[in-house]
Structure 1
Amino acid sequence: MNVFADSLIQELDMSNSLSMIRLTSLVAAFTAVLALAACGGGGGDIVGTGGTGVISGEVVKGPVANAAVTAFAVSGGQVGAQLGTAATDTSGRFMMDIGSYAGALMLRASGGSYKDEATGQVMSMGAEIMTATIPSVGAGSTTTVQVTPVTAMAQAMAQRMGGGMTEANITAANAAMGAYFGINDILRVQPMNPLVVGSGATATQDSRNYGMTLAAMSQYARTAGMSASSALVTAMMKDASDGVMDGSAAGAQIQMGMGGMMGGSSMMPATAGSSGLAAALTSYMNSGANMSGLNPSDVAALIQRLTTSTGRI
């Protein structure tokens, strides 16, 4: 084992963070092989170990600290074997090894906490999750993605499409969700953080639209009396799943979990994901919580699109 590890150390550049991750994975894989040989066998459903593929990125509902991020293979349009796991840092960043896997992939983020844009309070994600689906990753490649309420809405939509989460459906759902909110690439554009003073000055229009869309969701949740804005993410995922933002999924009206000590829920209005978000966005941008330096005119096209939307994604 020591000879193997020493040879790896000589061959890899230890100053590079990705090389460090790959070295750890290779040593772990070699250790596992020795253990299996000693025990006469073994098994498990984590299939990513032993290669060089890396997934990195950020979990954003406001940056989510200490979230657990899990990568899954997607096979036959459905969630398959687990590929790897990682925890986010205080800025919501993560990095994980997925071995030699190639193909469609889903990320799921759970747990952790974030600073809510509308209230400025630190809130727990609770039992809510966020997801993102990648149409395809190459074996041994490095892929950087965002995991946000918008990517989660796209994942829910792709899953409900005929055939499930195929490469074509994932691509179509991601593109449609991006067009709905005026974001060119929901997986790779980094949302602007409106809680950072002056963040709008250097942000691209895509980044502005992305960040303000997330802030609008927080503002909507606050206005609706929800104790944690993360609960609205779940409702938005359900609403987007059938391709129409109309407060219902497959004909059934959606319940929004209100949280708090009393718990309970309320029915999601038909306009929550369209003109309701537009009103929340305008309200947020005119509030003292918005530290970005932007005003409603800076995202006028997004506000107009949501205001006049029929809800169809």
Structure 2
Amino acid sequence: MERFKKIIIIFLSIAFMFTGACSDGDSGDTISGDVVAAMVNKATVKAYKINPDGSTNDQIGGENISTNGSYSISNLDYTGAVLLEASGGTYTDEATGNENTALTTLTAIAYIDSLTAIISITPLTHIAAQLMDRAAADIKTEIKNKNELVAEQFGLMQTSDNTNTNPIDIISVQPDDITDETVKNKPLDDKKLYALALAGISQNQENEVAVNTLEKIIPVLMNDLKNNSELSETYQKSFSAGVSGYITDKQIEIKNDSGSIPNPIINKIIKNNVANPGNLPTANAGEDTTIIEKGRSINLDGSASRTYNNTTSLSYEWILIKPNDSNAQLSSDNTSATKLTSGTNDPVGTRYVVTLKVIDTNQTDDEYFHVASIAIEVKKAPDFDCTMDVTIPTTINENTQYNFDAPTFSGPDKDNKIGNWTYTITPDAAPFSVDSSTGVITMTPIDYEAGTTTYTVTLTATDDAAHVIDKTLTITITNLVDETPVLDEPGADFTVSEDAAVGFVLGSLTISTNDENTSDTAITLTGTGNGNFEVINDSGTWNIKVKAGATLDFETTQSYNLKAEVSNDTLTSNQVDVVIDVTNVVDTTPTLTQPSSAYTVLENAATGAIVGELVISDNDDIASNTSIALTGSGNENFEVINDSGTWNLKVKAGASLDFETTESYALKAQANNTAGTGNEVDVTINVTNVVDTTPTLTQPSS
């Protein structure tokens, strides 16, 4: 539903008087009249022929610029279908007082049988013109039907006809200037009713979407009529309420010579032209009243409304008409009762109009409704020197119901109230309520995690003399740890090197569910070897780290099977498996065993001959990084080779062993790996002599 938010009261009527003698123009035929919307100045008025194909390219006479509403167009020599157009110009809006309000383009389509005609151009004639088929074969009938359709849908039935069957001719009838004091008080006739309908189009206010200019209002209503072939129930109600609000706001009398009468627009369902008014419900919004300034409230009651057969099967809708800059508001708009709160900055004397629409929900064929409006004036609050205080708990925990202390009063007038205090609270909605007689505020349990953690409410005390005291309270909810955390299963094992430093991050665990208060959240590890690790919250990431004092040794433990558990305050979660695999590094230097005796080698031993074996008694598991080096004089004749785990001392290629030269080698052996250098041991190799020299005889001298 499109809703009207800003009050716009636009009364617009343009009267044309077509006068002329013969068609040859010798008599100076003229079109004259007024452009009226509090007198439009400098509006351009034009007239066009409507051709059989619907086009309007031929202008009749010359255009005229209005001066204070008056215009005159000469040389009219045409009869038939005619389009009239007024555009441009400015006027002073009666409702807002805005000067230089621009006039939108308005049109009317009429069929003139003679050179003399009276034609109004209004928002209603503009709507009718937009609905017409300008190329219709019987254009005269098309024009008549569409103008009558619009009149019927907006309740413009002749005031002299009690049967509600004859619509007002919106072309020939000139609407009154409804702002004229003499018009306000005169008996209701067709001109005044026409003017009220135009005011009802403009003064529509609802809650959400602002339709605040004539340019916006007209297409909304025209499209509604075009799409539904009649004014829909939505706009029947808003239009009828607009008329009612305008009548109440402007204090317009609806009467005939016999006295006050029901307004024909308000007291009928517009689209169906109810023949039996006895089927209509009656809205009762109460009497005109006053409201205290600066955000005070009064209760409005529409429960006295009745259906035609005096039952209460009604639905309700309240509408507030207020100044544009006012923040006055209704607490609800769809129950039999509502509360009006005055605008905090509205001055004394500000007038609100509240309209109640009631709909008879028992009707099966049509939805009958009725509207009634009351005027409410802002008045000054009486002087009263008294303050009110309410003690609220310092800490208000979530998910707990509280009853606050009853209010206390202080100040010179604390004992001068008239009657009893009546208490209200704003906003009057969950989770707060107030006992109207004691002032005790009850707060139902609030879930901190729901999102709203701070509330501001105003307690108001009012006595029988309209003395009003307010106390604004700010209530902050304290979060409790009431949601059990949930730890997700890790997707894979974690890995750590046996020489990892303290604080090394192995990976992270995920807490998928937790209370909003995480200050006491912790993850603990259990199982053999858990002391080597800890889980730390690093800005929201729960990292598994190597703990200070950890003793990781691949050679001792290759894997840890632990359990992780998250807790928050007193709440403990599920357990998940945490597997940590330790990777090996070279971290042990090799240890050589001191040979128990010397080694022996033949002086003619071949390359690769095994002299003996050295033994590494302690070494890292990664032996591929281990070697044994020999030092000392003659070490180049030997080498130590790892033959499938046996460290053999061998004759090296290029060795020059000669017993006759060197009978024994005193060497040092030392094992090394990437972790470092091991101990040194003494290696003694004795060379064994072999017969390797042929004997040489000395030649006798004689």
TM bucket (normalised to shorter chain) is 0.5 to 0.7
1:244 aligns with 2:230: yes
The structure 2 residue matched to 1:186, chosen from 170, 175, 183, is 170
- Residue by residue, what CA displacement relative to the aligned partner does 1:118-162 show, whole Å, maximum 9, x if unpaired? 434346335x31111111242xx22222110011111112237x7
Residue 87 of structure 1: aligned partner: 65
* Alpha-carbon spacing, 1:221–1:201, altered in 2? closer, same or farther (3 Å): same
| Equivalent position amino acid for 1:113 in 2 | T
Determine if contact 2:43/2:88 at 8 Å carries over to the other structure: yes
Residue 140 of structure 2: aligned partner: 167
1:211 aligns with 2:195: yes
| Equivalent position amino acid for 1:88 in 2 | S
1:275 aligns with 2:237: yes
The structure 1 residue matched to 2:128, chosen from 147, 151, 154, is 154
The structure 2 residue matched to 1:99, chosen from 57, 76, 80, is 76
| Equivalent position amino acid for 1:143 in 2 | A
SS in structure 1 at match of 2:177 = coil
Following the alignment from structure 1 to structure 2, what is the Cα–Cα distance between the partners of residues 164 and 110?
Answer: 29
| Equivalent position amino acid for 1:171 in 2 | K
Instruction: For 1:260-271, list aligned pairs within 5 A.
Output: 271=234
* Alpha-carbon spacing, 1:137–1:70, altered in 2? closer, same or farther (3 Å): farther
- State the 1:285 CA deviation: 1.1
Determine if contact 1:73/1:106 at 8 Å carries over to the other structure: yes
| Equivalent position amino acid for 2:195 in 1 | G
Whose strand fraction is larger, Structure 1's or Structure 2's? 2
Instruction: For 1:29-44, list aligned pairs within 5 A.
Output: none
1:121 aligns with 2:127: no
* Alpha-carbon spacing, 1:219–1:78, altered in 2? closer, same or farther (3 Å): same
- Residue by residue, what CA displacement relative to the aligned partner does 1:151-200 show, whole Å, maximum 9, x if unpaired? 1111112237x728811101111122223331521112221222222313
| Equivalent position amino acid for 2:237 in 1 | S
Following the alignment from structure 1 to structure 2, what is the Cα–Cα distance between the partners of residues 72 and 302?
Answer: 33
The structure 2 residue matched to 1:130, chosen from 92, 101, 106, is 106
- Residue by residue, what CA displacement relative to the aligned partner does 1:248-281 show, whole Å, maximum 9, x if unpaired? xxxxxxxxxxxxxxxxxxxxxx623x11100111
Following the alignment from structure 2 to structure 1, what is the Cα–Cα distance between the partners of residues 200 and 240?
Answer: 8
Following the alignment from structure 1 to structure 2, what is the Cα–Cα distance between the partners of residues 167 and 147?
Answer: 18
Segment of structure 1 superposing worse, 219-228 or 171-180: 219-228
| Equivalent position amino acid for 1:64 in 2 | V
**TM-score (norm. length: structure 1):** 0.63
Following the alignment from structure 1 to structure 2, what is the Cα–Cα distance between the partners of residues 97 and 87?
Answer: 13
Residue 37 of structure 1: aligned partner: none
Following the alignment from structure 1 to structure 2, what is the Cα–Cα distance between the partners of residues 240 and 163?
Answer: 19
* Alpha-carbon spacing, 1:299–1:66, altered in 2? closer, same or farther (3 Å): farther
Determine if contact 2:231/2:271 at 8 Å carries over to the other structure: no
- State the 1:206 CA deviation: 1.0
1:286 aligns with 2:248: yes
- State the 1:298 CA deviation: 5.1
* Alpha-carbon spacing, 1:50–1:167, altered in 2? closer, same or farther (3 Å): farther
Determine if contact 1:110/1:130 at 8 Å carries over to the other structure: yes
Instruction: For 1:210-229, list aligned pairs within 5 A.
Output: 210-220=194-204, 225-229=210-214
Residue 8 of structure 1: aligned partner: none
Determine if contact 2:254/2:263 at 8 Å carries over to the other structure: no
| Equivalent position amino acid for 1:228 in 2 | T
* Alpha-carbon spacing, 1:308–1:239, altered in 2? closer, same or farther (3 Å): closer
Residue 403 of structure 2: aligned partner: none
Following the alignment from structure 1 to structure 2, what is the Cα–Cα distance between the partners of residues 159 and 61?
Answer: 28
Following the alignment from structure 2 to structure 1, what is the Cα–Cα distance between the partners of residues 38 and 206?
Answer: 15
Following the alignment from structure 1 to structure 2, what is the Cα–Cα distance between the partners of residues 117 and 304?
Answer: 26
Following the alignment from structure 1 to structure 2, what is the Cα–Cα distance between the partners of residues 130 and 235?
Answer: 15
How many equivalent residue pairs?
A: 237
| Equivalent position amino acid for 1:178 in 2 | A
The structure 2 residue matched to 1:304, chosen from 247, 251, 267, is 267
1:233 aligns with 2:218: yes
Following the alignment from structure 2 to structure 1, what is the Cα–Cα distance between the partners of residues 86 and 187?
Answer: 25
| Equivalent position amino acid for 2:46 in 1 | T
- State the 1:235 CA deviation: 3.0
Determine if contact 2:33/2:70 at 8 Å carries over to the other structure: yes
Following the alignment from structure 2 to structure 1, what is the Cα–Cα distance between the partners of residues 73 and 136?
Answer: 28
Following the alignment from structure 2 to structure 1, what is the Cα–Cα distance between the partners of residues 206 and 175?
Answer: 20
* Alpha-carbon spacing, 1:107–1:213, altered in 2? closer, same or farther (3 Å): same
Determine if contact 2:200/2:243 at 8 Å carries over to the other structure: yes
* Alpha-carbon spacing, 1:155–1:51, altered in 2? closer, same or farther (3 Å): farther
| Equivalent position amino acid for 1:89 in 2 | T
SS in structure 1 at match of 2:81 = strand
Following the alignment from structure 1 to structure 2, what is the Cα–Cα distance between the partners of residues 165 and 111?
Answer: 32
| Equivalent position amino acid for 2:140 in 1 | E
Whose helix fraction is larger, Structure 1's or Structure 2's? 1
Greater relative CO, 1 or 2 (CA 8 Å, sep 6+)? 1
**Cα root mean square deviation, aligned:** 3.5
SS in structure 1 at match of 2:133 = helix
* Alpha-carbon spacing, 1:227–1:301, altered in 2? closer, same or farther (3 Å): closer
Residue 49 of structure 2: aligned partner: 73
| Equivalent position amino acid for 2:264 in 1 | A
* Alpha-carbon spacing, 1:123–1:231, altered in 2? closer, same or farther (3 Å): farther
Determine if contact 1:216/1:284 at 8 Å carries over to the other structure: yes
- State the 1:115 CA deviation: 3.6
Residue 41 of structure 1: aligned partner: none
| Equivalent position amino acid for 1:119 in 2 | T
Instruction: For 1:12-51, list aligned pairs within 5 A.
Output: none
Determine if contact 1:56/1:144 at 8 Å carries over to the other structure: no
Following the alignment from structure 1 to structure 2, what is the Cα–Cα distance between the partners of residues 154 and 302?
Answer: 19
- Residue by residue, what CA displacement relative to the aligned partner does 1:60-89 show, whole Å, maximum 9, x if unpaired? 455433211110001115132111322233
**TM-score (norm. length: structure 2):** 0.30
* Alpha-carbon spacing, 1:306–1:209, altered in 2? closer, same or farther (3 Å): farther
Q: Runs (4+) of structure 1 moved beyond 6 Å?
A: none
Determine if contact 1:53/1:98 at 8 Å carries over to the other structure: yes
Determine if contact 1:102/1:137 at 8 Å carries over to the other structure: yes
Identity fraction in percent: 23
- State the 1:51 CA deviation: 7.3
Determine if contact 1:54/1:143 at 8 Å carries over to the other structure: no
Following the alignment from structure 2 to structure 1, what is the Cα–Cα distance between the partners of residues 36 and 174?
Answer: 9
Following the alignment from structure 1 to structure 2, what is the Cα–Cα distance between the partners of residues 66 and 164?
Answer: 37
